[in-house]
Amino acid sequence: MKTPALIAIMGTTASGKSDLAEEVASTIGARLISADAFQIYRGFDIGTNKPPDRSRYALIDIKDPNEWFSVGEWIELVRVELEQASINQQDVLIVGGTGLYIRALFEGWSDLQPPPSLELRHELDERIKKEGLPAVFRLLNKLDHAVAQRIDQYNPARVRRAMEKVLTKTDLMVAHHLPFRKHKFALDLPVDELNNRIEARTNALIESGWPEETGRLISTGVSKDDPAMRAIGYRTCLDLYEGNLSLTHARTLIANATRRYAKRQRTWLRSEPELVRIDALGNGKGPYRTVIEALA
């Protein structure tokens, strides 16, 4: 019996990862898992470009907007999916733009921290309120000077998260020894073509109701400071919805932020080990055929 495959489809935003992944998954019967740091949040649908059929994917819509989420927690959830896939002798296809998640999984990183307990988070929040952020930062500096020097001491969320990591004693062992053949592919697009796609997608998402979605989220109690609101474009869409920005200005801000993100993704992918790069425009064999032949 053939060993099942663990496949990653990577690439910049707007490169066509999801379409390719779904086509390949349909052909080989693979389990689809999202590696997107913001598609995990319920209600954040349009701006994160969630797939039309979310039922095909694991790890979409698993968190409330005010909850933090870490690579360690993602790894733990994926490990459960992999164990079941291994039992079923099923291929697994991971797709998404959060390269850190995929690298940590494929390289079996073992120095990640588990998600902090809600009790610890509440305790730290109360401590910051009562004692003040400078006092908590001084404690962090005393507990782990190296960690303290790497963060913004004036950012409450950063200080709290650093304290959570320092106070969480047990490392999360994520290295797994499940029998999977590992493959990583990345779609390459010329920068000009990518920029055109980013602009077109930005316009399409806004026209699909992105500002209205953001307004509804705020009306249901989501705060603009919640972790989910860090997703590109949501705070801009809130300003647009509230009449603080023109449509033209909002489109420009979101497209520019997305292009900067894509540039960071390209830099990350250049350092990704054992990655097979594919021309996303279909020159040569074409993306689908390249992946299928590699898995044969």
Encoded tokens for 47: 């701006």
Per-residue pLDDT, 170: 46
DSSP H/E element including 276: strand 276-279
Q: What are the backbone angles phi and psi of residue 273, rounded to the nearest 5°?
A: -75, 150
Per-residue pLDDT, 147: 86
Q: Which parts of the chain have pLDDT scores under 70?
A: 110-117, 168-178
Cα separation, 110 vs 76, in Å, equals 11
Per-residue pLDDT, 61: 98
Please state the pTM of the whole predicted model. 0.80
258 CB-near residues (< 8 Å, 6+ apart)? 13, 14, 198, 202, 232, 233
User: Are 275 and 186 in contact, with CB atoms under 8 Å apart?
Assistant: yes
* Residue among 233, 224, 208 at smallest CA distance from 65: 224
Cα separation, 285 vs 292, in Å, equals 11
Query: Could you tell me where the DSSP H helices lie in the chain?
Result: 17-28, 71-88, 99-107, 118-131, 133-143, 145-149, 156-167, 191-207, 210-219, 234-241, 247-270, 287-295
Amino acid at 155: N
Per-residue pLDDT, 113: 60
